[in-house]
Chain A
Amino acid sequence: MTHDAASPPYLQVDDLRVRFNTADGEVRAVDGVSFGLQRGRTLGIVGESGSGKSVTSLAVMGLHDPARTRITGGISLGGRQLVGLSDGEMRKLRGRDVAMIFQDPLSALHPFYTVGRQLVEAYRTHHPEASKAQARKRAVDMLDRVGIPQPDRRFAQYPHEFSGGMRQRVMIAMSLMNDPALLIADEPTTALDVTVQAQILDLLADLQREFHSAIVLITHDLGVVSQVADEVLVMYGGRAVEHGTVAQVMRGPQHPYTWGLLASIPSLHGDPEVDLKPIKGNPPSLINVPSGCAFHPRCAYAMKPEPCAAQVPQLLAVQADGHRVACHLPEQQRIDIYTDEIAHVGVAQ
């Protein structure tokens, strides 16, 4: 990215591949994804169910079951290689250097323990020298910092005593207990109402300014991405199909799948009488990914059989600095199609 090109990315993912063995065959959940992210920046990973966006983030957290998962490629965090680390080594990093916020805070928090106890545990795991009183103070401070009123009293309450939005704040407080340099948020606001979602997104942006962490935000909601992310990675069928700044991807998208997403979502401002332009068909099965470009069976512009159905397109740089697209169509043709056919439909308008 053009931004502060001198500083190396904190998170660097290189040709990541994640495969699962199932009774039905091998699932290629992530199939060669590469990206880098600096501290202080937010990357939105966008895709539909089965695109590999959550699997990518779980690989960074080292949360896959090694018995049935094969991970190859590189994941480097602050210069340290994570792929191949033992469970014990990964446990030292998890929560301290990289923390995660899940979609559903009710199932991510233990129902049987007070939130205070869970926060204290998160802190003392990585700060064994800290006294209980110090850990408690840290927990109350963090609850206060994420905007929970009466943090002293709330410290002693159980997860079920919090509303959905407040529970997500507890999750965020817990993820920040050890000042992680990388925060992964997997659909952090999907379960929340829109007015509460706005509060949580504002909070994440504030905290990022304060802690200068890198954030990976996984979501299916392009609106959320456009509001909080600096960069966007669009995934389809386990691969990255487009990567660039939010401005590049939202204002001048070059991959037909990204066009499809933008033309599928109604806008709050466009002409409501104009029909949406959905992507035909269904997302692919990851056990039997289509040959060549995984999107070609649903792509209105695919050149078949060659090259779209035969060769996997590489994620290549386009003219705009830092913008990368994996599509066989020539760049000028992509720009023309977007301008002529897509730019006036749905939120793309």
Chain B
Amino acid sequence: MSEALLKVRGLTKHFAVRQGATGAKASVRAVDGLDFDVHAGETLGLVGESGCGKTTTGRMLVRLLEPTAGSIEFQGRDITTLGRRAMRPLRQDLQIIFQDPYSSLNPRHTVGKIVAMPLEVNGIKPAGGVKARVQELLELVGLNPEHYNRFPHEFSGGQRQRIGIARALALRPKLIVADEPVSALDVSIQAQVVNLLRELQRELDLAFVFIAHDLAIVRHFSRRVAVMYLGKVVEIGDRADIYERPRHPYTKALLSAVPDVTAFGEQRQRIRLTGDVPTPLNPPSGCRFRTRCWKAQDVCAAEEPPLIAREGSAQQVACHFPEAVGVTSEHVSEVAA
């Protein structure tokens, strides 16, 4: 395989907090040692529930947050500790789309100004002028180029998300981190934006890190998928492996919890996890999922399972007792107590 566009090794983010009446120092281990690659033109989906660290990861990738440890290599260059100035030329290749199309656009700027901002900041003078380039971008994302002089409040949620996408595309990036890009939108509008992103990916050969909690949307959009739980990747692999042959108990539980219209009327075996996700302030020892796992043994509390491929499969799983290769999700027999 070609050299990876993005290489992440041991990526970690701990937030310092003060706890309780004494103000004792503690740290929230939001992201705790991630390894993954993203290749040019491909999409890696990051899924997980709230607090799993997927958003923190996305923000570190574009250096909106400083990692506590680990490295991020982009196009073969270590960008983990680059300063603002040194980062600037790289920002052309590395962009982010935010979840909330309301708070991520400056309400006092016209759409034209918002989309032109990356060009201006980076001192880029496109041939044919800034206005022509901005109008071309608006057209590319399905907005009327005539609306160049309008303000964000004059647009609907879906249209605002398109403005955010146009802004991210302004510098012709190679990689876009899309953090829950459709979860604030109505169902019918979600599909418009998802289709738009897929079209742009095909046309512009973009790579995406696609962060979402909606498993069906991630499956629809991502070739490879990483499942996160409490700051760790518990399983990573090709879409078909993760969704048809999940090997980590958490992945299986997550998939079986999705209320799926297609499964309507069928009596599915469902895995019901008990309890909530533990706090990342004090994550469980060993495997972090063990407190909710029906397979957990003593070894799970004592030793943290490494994320490794087993038995000739490229799918990597961090579990002491993974499902056997070749067991499909239809054969689920365990039901949590």
Contact = CB atoms under 8 A, between A and B. Distances in A.
A120 interface: no
Nearest to A163: B276
Interface in B236-276: 239, 243, 253-255, 257-265, 270, 272-274, 276
Chain B interface: which size bin?
Answer: 35 or more
A48 B187 contact: yes
Interface in A266-281: 266-270, 272, 275-280
B257 A268 contact: no
A165 B194 contact: no
Contacts of B272: 198-199, 202
Nearest to A202: B272
B277 A269 contact: no
B276 A264 contact: no
Contacts of B147: none
A165 B189 CA distance: 28
Interface stretch (A123-131, A172-180, A188-196): A188-196
* Interface-centre pick from A195, A280, A282, A346 (highest chain B CB count, 10 A): A195
A193 B51 CA distance: 10
A185 to B, nearest CB: 14
A193 B239 contact: no
B49 interface: yes
Contact of A268 (B260, B265, B270): B260
Interface in A249-272: 250-251, 260-270, 272
B253 A195 contact: yes
A282 B158 contact: yes
A263 B187 CA distance: 10
Contacts of B265: 247, 251
Contacts of B215: 194, 268
Given A194-B215, A194-B254, A347 B194 contact: no
Interface in B184-212: 186-192, 194-195, 198
Interface stretch (A11-19, A21-29, A215-223): A215-223
Interface residues of A, number: 50
B243 A268 contact: yes
A269 B258 CA distance: 12
Contact of B257 (A163, A198, A250): A198
B219 interface: yes
A194 B195 contact: no
Given A48-B186, A194-B254, A275-B195, A268 B219 contact: yes
A246 B263 CA distance: 12
A215 B27 CA distance: 43
A207 interface: no
B48 to A, nearest CB: 9
A76 interface: no
Interface of B: 49-50, 156, 158-159, 186-192, 194-195, 198, 213, 215-217, 219-220, 239, 243, 253-255, 257-265, 270, 272-274, 276-277
18 contacts: A163-B276, A194-B257, A195-B254, A198-B270, A198-B272, A223-B261, A226-B259, A226-B263, A228-B259, A247-B264, A250-B261, A251-B264, A262-B261, A265-B190, A265-B191, A266-B219, A266-B220, A278-B189
Task: Across the A-B interface, give the 10 residue pairs with the lowest CB-CB distance, nearest first.
Answer: A278-B191, A266-B220, A223-B259, A264-B191, A193-B49, A279-B188, A198-B257, A48-B186, A226-B264, A347-B261
